[in-house]
Amino acid sequence: MSSSDSSAARKFFDLCQQGSEQEWLCRHIMAVCLFHGFGTTGDRKKAAAIFEQLANEGYSDSQVCLGECYLFGWGVWRNRKQALQWYSKSAKQGNSYGQNMVGFCYYKGYGVTKDDTKATEWWRNSAEQGNRYGQNNLGTCYKCGWGVPQDTDTALFWLRKSADQGYNLAIDELKWLNEWP
């Protein structure tokens, strides 16, 4: 029996399902469980539908999750412009994960014209809120000079902030630079 089939996982899912009629967070967690098959049979299409309902109600965490669904085609047709729209809605509410993903879309040119300067701006918003992914990405921008002047000290500052939160990519980058631990 995998951990996702354990009695605790099933109980967790059942509790979320019971509360899902009233509480948005229970509905969101239930969708996460459906998405990952934790405590129930995985169903990404059903999970995406729940994320979409919650996203339309304005919940920024669900907007990020729906953006992920559209970015990768999980439970919905892959649509990078839709992904960016949902990330942007979340980001405009101050969600640091949404901000990080808007930065990612600008960096990759997903649903928008590639723009390292705008990517860096969004990653800075995310990083300043303490988001380890945004911190790593901003540090990488300063290391490589993407959208900002290259600055090793500033790069190390942001990479360390991310690494201090246990983000392995930042730790690996600092190791490669002989700056970790």
Please write the tens of the pLDDT for every residue from 133-162: 999 999 999 999 999 999 999 999 999 999
Q: How far is CA 153 from CA 138, 139, 145, 149, in A?
A: 12, 9, 12, 12
HSE toward the beta carbon, residue 112, CA cutoff 13 A: 20
- Ranges in the chain annotated CATH 1.25.40.10: 112-181
**Percent of the chain clearing pLDDT 90 (strictly above):** 85
pLDDT, residue 7, reads: 72
Cα–Cα dist 49/44, whole Å = 8
pLDDT, the chain, mean: 93
pLDDT, residue 1, reads: 44
Q: Which residues of 39-59 are buried (b: 16+ CB within 10 A; e: fewer)?
A: bbeebbebbbbbbbebbeeeb
Cα–Cα dist 35/58, whole Å = 20
pLDDT, residue 10, reads: 76
pLDDT in tens, 115-131: 999 999 999 999 999 99
3-class DSSP string for the chain: CCHHHCHHHHHHHHHHHHHCCCCHHHHHHHHHHHHHCCCCCCCHHHHHHHHHHHHHCCCHHHHHHHHHHHHHCCCCCCCHHHHHHHHHHHHHCCCHHHHHHHHHHHHHCCCCCCCHHHHHHHHHHHHHCCCHHHHHHHHHHHHHCCCCCCCHHHHHHHHHHHHHCCCHHHHHHHHHCCCCC
pLDDT in tens, 29-38: 999 999 999 9
CATH number for the domain formed by residue range(s) 112-181:
1.25.40.10
Cα–Cα dist 122/158, whole Å = 14
Cα–Cα dist 100/138, whole Å = 10
Cis preceding-peptide flag for 181 (omega within 30 of 0): yes
pLDDT, residue 14, reads: 72
Whether 19 has a pLDDT exceeding 80, the answer reads no
Whether 21 has a pLDDT exceeding 60, the answer reads no
pLDDT in tens, 45-59: 999 999 999 999 999
